[in-house]
Amino acid sequence: MNRRNLLKITALSSVFLLKGGNNLLSQTNKQSIIRPKRLEKGDKVALVSPASNVTDLMDVYRAQEICDKLGLNTIMPKSIVKTASGYKTRTVEERVDDLHQAFADKSIKAIFCIRGGFGSAELLDKLDYELIKRNPKIICGYSDITALLTGINKKTGLVTFHSPVMLSDFDEITFTSFQNMLYNSSAFGEIKNPISSDIRSANPTIVINDGKSKGELVGGNLSLITSLIGTAYQIDTEAKILFIEDVGEAPYRLERMLTQMRMAGMLNKLNGVVIGKCDDCSAGSSQSTWDRSELEVYNYIFAGMDYPVFYGLLFGHTSTQFTIPIGIEAEMNSEEGTLTILQSAVI
């Protein structure tokens, strides 16, 4: 099948409810953690757009191109196919239905988000979490997709994946990280920024608080995490390693969001924090003498905490993006700038 022929995109197949799904890893207070099955060459994956719509046929091609490289067969919901011609929005009901069909169809092994944008959070109180729990499978993305990843993980215990979307750049490191995380049923191991041959490191990691710690991974895009505070989908941070990232946020806005988390009690009982490299997070020409820089914000917020914190790991809105599983045990070393995945994220 030539998946590059945009006129032959297959719509989602009929809904088949998958019974069972007892892929249990460990116990938490509220949900048993469920690992999805790993991918294999030739598997069928659903390409969805639960946030902003995909309106350019070239974007459809680019998304399918990545799946071709992974050796996967792709299908898309009819609601995306019919609007990939300029229409900018789709209804909540259409987007929820796309996800429900993708989870319920037993022939689909994974759900890849084509892009982020805006709107995922408004799906959270419409999703059938029992359906998702009965049909555990890989779901991945980042940015606005954080709302889905954290909401589904909290409500079902399903391990989700903070990963590139299908329109990400996918350099060699990004592609290898994504592929190895989803195809191998062994612990991924160490995540560390590539070593630069330049005199100055292109992507340094910077210690905020030194030390090592272990904990279950939780996190994603900072703006989305804070937007869910006070809702049923607020993340649980106690004894966790929190990873956060953002893009295009002035330092004072980062400080405001982190202050909100602190006052909500979300930073007090953490085991550690890994902060992703933030592109375009400087104050620019508007910075006043009393404004803090980005790194000064992190020092101000975290310096008094008794857990390790470091900045600069490549995940999220960066050209190189590591894939990070939500709900899996990991170890961080802030002095080495490493995050080591201690358990397999798939079975």
pLDDT of residue 287: 55
Q: Is the pLDDT of residue 79 over 90?
A: no
For the ranges 3-7, 214-218, 248-252, the lowest mean pLDDT is seen at 3-7
3-state SS class at 258: helix
- Structure tokens, 176: 């290898």
Q: Is the pLDDT of residue 240 over 80?
A: yes
- Structure tokens, 129: 């979490």
Q: What is the mean pLDDT of residues 46-74?
A: 94
pLDDT band of residue 26 (cuts 50, 70, 90) is very low
Rg (CA), the chain: 20
Torsion, Cα 222 341 169 297, to 10 degrees, reads 30
Q: What is the mean pLDDT of residues 310-320?
A: 97
CB contact at 8 A, 221 and 146? yes
3-state SS class at 224: helix
Query: Can you give the pTM of this predicted structure?
Result: 0.90
For the ranges 78-87, 167-176, 249-258, 307-316, the lowest mean pLDDT is seen at 78-87
Q: Is the pLDDT of residue 5 over 60?
A: no
Q: Which residue has better confidence, 206 or 289?
A: 206
pLDDT of residue 81: 61
Q: What is the mean pLDDT of residues 17-41?
A: 65
Q: Is the pLDDT of residue 186 over 90?
A: yes
DSSP class of residue 200 equals S
Q: Is the pLDDT of residue 256 over 80?
A: yes
Q: Is the pLDDT of residue 246 over 80?
A: yes
Q: Is the pLDDT of residue 8 over 60?
A: no
What residue type is 54 in one-letter code?
V
The catalytic site residues sit at: 143, 245, 317
All domains of the chain, ordered by start, with CATH? Answer: 6-168 (3.40.50.10740), 189-341 (3.50.30.60)
pLDDT of residue 197: 84
pLDDT of residue 30: 62
pLDDT of residue 77: 78
Question: Which segments of 195-345 are extended strands (E)?
Answer: 206-209, 212-221, 240-245, 272-276, 309-313, 324-326, 329-333, 338-341
